[in-house]
Amino acid sequence: MKKLLSLLATISIITTSSSVIACGGIPEVEEKNNEKIDLSSINNNLGEIKGSTNLPTLQLLVLSINEINENLELSEDDVRIDGSQTITSTKLVALENSLNFKGEVIITYNYEKVEKRDLSTLNGNLDILYGKDSKPSETEIINKFLLINNKEGIKSTDIRLKQNSLNEDLTEATIEANENSDLFVGSIDLTFKYSVATEVDLKLVNDLINGEGDYASMSPAVFKKGITANPDEINNKESMFNNIKTFTEKLLNLAKLLGINISFDQLNEMVDINYYSDDNGTILHEGNQKIKLIRITVKKGYELNIDGYYVKGVINAKVYEKIDITKIITDTDLGTLKVTSTSHQLYALRAVNEYLTNKYKDIMDENNITSDCWETINNKSFKYDDDSKLSATVTLPKEDTFNNIFYNSITLKFKIEKK
């Protein structure tokens, strides 16, 4: 939207609002204004903020607002301070010539005036610095410095890499304070050992969850088309977070076989998780809507947050509502099943699977259910009625099932007869 508005602003058009009419008879100026973001709709509580001036500057306020409002991209050219400020609030009003914002908002915070600190008082030993290319980028150096000094209140907007300060051995560099930093002055010499990180693409996890790609068959899930959820879980973000945590932990254990050693907690610190009420991930989940897709993306600047790894990519995990197996299978007596041999229970379990798959084919096709979901093979609940081995029972699904499309369980009985 912002790019479109910027483009429209550069095109030479008749600007008299009474003579330029958009589609539907709405004046074009009015249409543009309707597309602007109303400042009253943004998150306005900044929490604790610090600066070296008596009251927070417009620059500090804008930076702090952008930190808590993802992809807002507010700039100092969009707003002005209106009226008197205090150490707890400031009123911001959108400028008339702002292309992207309108309205006004009262920003609240707890402001603390502090003396500017010299960067040399911080920790400049970065230990091992990982990057994705043959030499570290400015962003990679700054992000590692911020990570090492994450309790010092320093931000990327406070500093920059001194020009030509990275040495040929890739072991030293210098960071200096930006002139407009509210909190820091001076510079600091950094030391480190540079190493190229192992690239980890979250597409691997995405494919395992959704049953796609070269490693789909390695997934421990019974239902391999997405994450399953009980009816009382599918509209609850907390429940779905626990589901995807359990699923991802199992997949990360598989990733260890490929030499990737990352924990869920490490991954969780570096990603944003969003929940959607549509299959394409365009409608953010609200209220009591069913969650149909969970999107996990790496936060900007966090790609190298885990030492030794460069994490990229996106997980789009589809969510499927579980089905009560007792509502599908209403007749627990399967009658007599023909088997090629009565010498082993495997033949009987195969016959059960074939019977259910044939009888409930339409329901299975409608709900993306595969025959694996019956979980008959290697089912430890199988039991012959007596030594004759001519009748038996089995409970579906398995007691230790993982990510099945079915919930609840049902015990089936049947007779066995050799073909």
Cβ atoms within 10 Å, residue 107: 24
Helix (H, G, I), strand (E, B) or coil at 252: helix
Confidence (pLDDT) at 33: 57
Q: How much of the chain exceeds pLDDT 70, in percent?
A: 92
Sorted by where each begins, the domain ranges of the chain are 37-113, 117-196, 201-321, 325-418
Residue, of 148 and 216, whose pLDDT is higher:
148
When mean pLDDT is compared across 133-137, 162-166, 339-343, the lowest value belongs to: 339-343
Q: Is the pLDDT of residue 28 over 90?
A: no
How far is residue 172's CA from residue 167's CA, in Å, rounded to a whole number?
6
When computed from its CA atoms, the radius of gyration of the chain, rounded to whole angstroms, is: 30
Confidence (pLDDT) at 333: 97
Q: 85 and 113 in contact (C-beta within 8 Å)? A: no
Helix (H, G, I), strand (E, B) or coil at 45: strand
Mean per-residue pLDDT over the chain, rounded: 89
What's the fold here for domain 37-113?
A: Ribosomal Protein L9; domain 2 (3.10.430)
Q: Could you report the per-residue pLDDT of 33-78, keeping only the tens digit for each?
A: 568 999 999 999 999 999 989 999 999 999 999 989 988 999 999 9
Per 3-state DSSP, the chain is made up of helix, strand and coil in percentages (nearest 5) of: 30, 30, 40
When mean pLDDT is compared across 135-139, 213-217, 241-245, 330-334, the lowest value belongs to: 213-217
The whole-number average pLDDT for the span 292-312 is 92
Q: Is the pLDDT of residue 349 over 90?
A: yes
Strand partners, 188: 175
Confidence (pLDDT) at 34: 65
Helix (H, G, I), strand (E, B) or coil at 71: coil
Confidence (pLDDT) at 83: 87
How far is residue 125's CA from residue 105's CA, in Å, rounded to a whole number?
42
Q: Could you report the per-residue pLDDT of 219-257, keeping only the tens digit for each?
A: 889 999 999 999 999 999 999 999 999 998 988 888 888
How far is residue 241's CA from residue 229's CA, in Å, rounded to a whole number?
11
Q: For residue 317, which of 203, 399, 219, 215 has the smallest C-alpha distance? A: 203
Q: Is the pLDDT of residue 21 over 80?
A: no
Q: Could you report the per-residue pLDDT of 171-187, keeping only the tens digit for each?
A: 999 999 999 898 999 99
Confidence (pLDDT) at 3: 38
Q: Is the pLDDT of residue 298 over 80?
A: yes
The whole-number average pLDDT for the span 340-355 is 91
Confidence (pLDDT) at 10: 37
Give whole-number Cα distances, 250 to 212, 266, 298, 408, in Å.
Answer: 17, 15, 20, 22
Q: Could you report the per-residue pLDDT of 108-146, keeping only the tens digit for each?
A: 999 999 999 999 999 999 999 999 999 999 999 999 999
